[in-house]
Chain A
Amino acid sequence: MLARARSGDEAAFLGLWRSLQPRLLRYLHVLGCDDPDDVASETWLQVVRDLHRFTGDDEDFRRWLFTVGRHRAIDAARARIRRRVSPVADGLDGLADGQTVEDQVLDGMSVRKAVAMLAGLSPDQAEAVALRVIAGLDTPAVASILGKSPGAVRVALHRGLRALAADPRVQALAAEAGGTGPTRLLALGEVD
């Protein structure tokens, strides 16, 4: 799929985008981006522009994508401070009022809650767990992106997962799952 995307195959590119965009968005949420969609668009813009120069396999591509995404998130944070302007969404407040119904539903969506819970960790722990779990990267790749040693990443992962496991909300999830978390995920999969 990657090779076909590089040769201009739209379907292949869409396949890549569909598989990675949701994870990229979740990662950017964990980083605390004001506008993850905007940063994700910037990320893909650069990736598409430089795709012809990319060499590597799927895992290399995923690592590259998340590296670019991280840099664009940092750029966005710096630019927002430098320009001292309101984010785009602020300018829309007068047009779109409070999304009460949507908020109620979206708040109830578990993925968002899970991402928010992860974002509540310390930044280094949250990012290590996000890159490991959401991006699906191995520890050396995470260490490369973060500019840390694999050992430091393992420590951050360890502490982050420990902190999550001790969170009362996560323990409540365990209670809801009846002590069989993975089984419940499978149970959800039984729905056609």
Chain B
Amino acid sequence: MSADDPRDPRRRPGTSPGLPGLPGDDFGTGEPGLDVLLGLLASDPTPDELGGERAALAMFRGSGPPAAAGRGPAPTPARSRAPRRRPVSRLAAAVTLAAAAGFAAAAYTTNLPMPLQQAANRALGFAGVPRPHHPVRGGARPGGPAVSSPAPGGSASPATSAPPAPGSAGPPPAGTVRLSLSATQSRIPADGNDAFTARLTGTNEPVGGATLTLLELAAGQPGWHPVGSATTGGNGSATVTVSGLATNAAFRLSGPDGSTSQPVLVVVLPPVSARVTVGPHGQMGMVTAASPLASPGDTVMLQVMTGNHWMDVQQRTLDHGRQAGFAVRPSGPGGGPGRGYRVVLMPTAAHGLSVSNTVALPSA
């Protein structure tokens, strides 16, 4: 064991004159600020850092049966530079293919190579966790001169074509119509409504009187399905409202001549609240997080205000009552304002990240 070995009990922090002690398990350098910084660098994982666990396990399972242990020499850094099966070309091809064929749809169907799938999951906020689909209560609302009636129950059928298969999204064929879609809000409170505005043009002229179908691909669901339809007005525009959104979802339009719009992502934000209770003698307290529209097992992170920023403290999973409790201890006596806490509901496949109100735990 060398003197530099962090396991060496003889090595104590700050023992080298003029040199901050090398960081070890105790992070002690004799510099308080530096100690905090190094402690953070080596601190426990944050939830987002462990987000790829299932993909890692799938990779391990897919590596095939283990060969005999100890066979051959140990891999070394030099060996790792040897030619290997690096999926660069496969990845590059997948990037091109995904861009051309509809990245979001491909990501939903988990057909992408793992790194690309992870990137999609990260960007889309979807981890592939199956969740109940939100009740479709959507339909058209007057957004132009000639908007159709709602399509209750998602039973509306496309006007001119069947819903495209996942991965078939893309710009309409050249020389035909062009279909665009935008959402009024890209992030909405859980169980909220969102309005989508469609615009149909052909040869730079708006196309009126065309029936458009709004398709949805919800997190954890296997494919696109129609949730409403509308007819464009004279200005080529139509508006469709979808209500009761309970999970993250992508939306796109299907229109004449097989045209489809690019997908639009809507992230759902379940509310999360925090409340604090103090024990009978003021020695202990409890911060309780509640998120009634989240799911049991979702992760919540307790954060404490330190100085002018929030610091992660501890994470818990919501119980079946969609609650989680964190036992906390008041800061030292003195009657100060006490510590401020809040809770962050971490994003999942089904929803985005939400932040609670701030609560204060009085000093002891």
Contact = CB atoms under 8 A, between A and B. Distances in A.
Interface of A: 3, 6-8, 10, 13-14, 17-18, 21-23, 25-26, 35, 37-38, 40-42, 44-46, 48-56, 60, 64, 67-68, 71, 75, 79, 83, 85, 88-89, 91-92, 94-97, 100-102, 104-106, 108-111, 113-115, 117-118, 129-130, 132-134, 136, 138-140, 144-145, 150, 154, 157-158, 161-162, 164-165, 170-177, 179-182, 184-185, 187-188, 190-192
Contacts of B165: none
Contact of B65 (A8, A104, A114, A134): A8
23 contacts: A3-B69, A7-B69, A10-B60, A14-B60, A22-B50, A37-B119, A40-B52, A41-B115, A52-B68, A89-B123, A92-B119, A95-B250, A102-B352, A109-B46, A110-B311, A110-B312, A111-B43, A136-B6, A144-B77, A173-B307, A174-B33, A182-B32, A182-B35
Contacts of B124: 92, 95-96
Contacts of A170: 31, 33-34, 36-37
B143 interface: no
Contact of A138 (B2, B39, B40, B77): B2
B289 to A, nearest CB: 13
> Interface of chain B, helix or strand or loop or mixed?
mixed
Contacts of A56: 74
A13 B53 CA distance: 11
B33 A22 contact: no
Contacts of A44: 56, 59
Given A21-B56, A182-B32, A185-B27, 18 more contacts: A22-B46, A26-B41, A37-B119, A48-B60, A79-B88, A95-B124, A95-B263, A97-B186, A105-B353, A106-B48, A111-B43, A138-B2, A140-B4, A158-B19, A173-B32, A185-B35, A187-B331, A191-B326
A133 B114 CA distance: 29
What DSSP secondary structure best describes chain A's contact surface?
Answer: helix
A130 B42 CA distance: 9
Interface in B67-108: 67-77, 79-81, 84-86, 88, 92, 95, 98-99, 103-104
B45 interface: yes
A170 B76 CA distance: 37
Contacts of A88: 95, 115-116, 119
Interface residues on B, range: 35 or more
B156 interface: no
B336 to A, nearest CB: 12
Contacts, number: 295
Contacts of B52: 21, 37, 40-41
Given A181-B39, A191-B327, A42 B123 contact: no
Nearest to B84: A46
B262 interface: yes
Interface of B: 2, 4-6, 19-20, 22-23, 26-29, 31-46, 48-50, 52-53, 55-57, 59-61, 63, 65-77, 79-81, 84-86, 88, 92, 95, 98-99, 103-104, 114-116, 118-120, 122-125, 186-187, 250, 262-265, 269, 302-304, 306-307, 309-314, 326-329, 331, 344, 347, 352-355
A177 B85 contact: no
A161 B118 CA distance: 34
